[in-house]
Amino acid sequence: MPVARGPQMNARSAVLVGLTGIAIAVVLGGGVLFLASQGSDVEIQLGDADFDAGQIGRISEEIDDRGPILYSDVAGRSRDLILQHLGDDPEAGWLAFEARPIGEPRNCFFQWDDDVQVFELITITDDGDCAEVTMDERGNLSTGGTIDTYPVTIDDNNNVRVDLNFGRDNDETDDG
């Protein structure tokens, strides 16, 4: 029984298919380059835009009992922050600020001293020299300098939220 031959591709057809593929690739590549040149800077943000510190009742009680809370930036970006609550109203009086003054190394951070009601700059290692500066309960430095602050809001679920993407050169806070 004779076997039928399948479709045959001659040299002319092969060249035509190859050139068509190259033309499509060039057009697609040009389109991608055109679109890339038209856009503005791309900012990649992984994770949440803000930090959820927890329920206002629980967090405000903890601050009343133990003092302001230090949150270490576990992502390693050195955005350690202190969450403070002032007053009796759990929905107002929230402050969040950097855990150390601008320019201080990561091994220096503020710790609340309940006896004198100020934050004192301490070091967690023996090899670091921290500036001699204190900070009051509202984030005012004894040197007259400024500390980076973050806006704090209360969401619809009564969670304390800190805007970590707020501009670092801004000194505004939202207590509420």
Whole-structure pTM over 0.75, yes or no?
no
Distance of CA 26 to CAs 12, 14, 18, 36, 56, Å?
21, 19, 12, 15, 57
* Tens-place pLDDT, residues 3-48: 767 677 788 888 999 999 999 999 999 999 888 787 666 666 565 6
> Which is higher by pLDDT, 127 or 71?
71
Mean pLDDT calculated for residue range 60-74: 87
Q: Which of the two residues, 124 and 133, has the higher pLDDT score?
A: 133
E-strand ranges in the chain read 50-55, 69-71, 81-85, 94-98, 108-113, 118-123, 134-135, 149-150, 152-154, 159-163
- Is the pLDDT at 64 greater than 60? The verdict is yes
Mean pLDDT of the 75-90 span: 83
CATH numbers and ranges of domains, the chain: 50-163 (2.102.10.10)
- Please tell me the distance from the alpha carbon of residue 34 to that of residue 46, in angstroms, as a whole number: 26
Report pLDDT digits (tens) over 84-100: 999 888 889 999 999 88
Mean pLDDT across the chain: 82
pLDDT top residue among 21 and 78: 21
Task: Answer yes or no: is pLDDT of 125 > 80.
Answer: no
Residue 132 confidence (pLDDT) above 70? yes
CA gap 174, 162 in Å, rounded = 10
Nearest-angstrom CA–CA distance, 48 and 51: 7
Of 136 and 50, the structure prediction assigns the larger pLDDT to 136
CA atoms 48, 51, 52, 56: torsion sign:
negative
Mean predicted confidence (pLDDT) in 90-111:
88
Q: Would the pLDDT of 174 be above 80? A: no
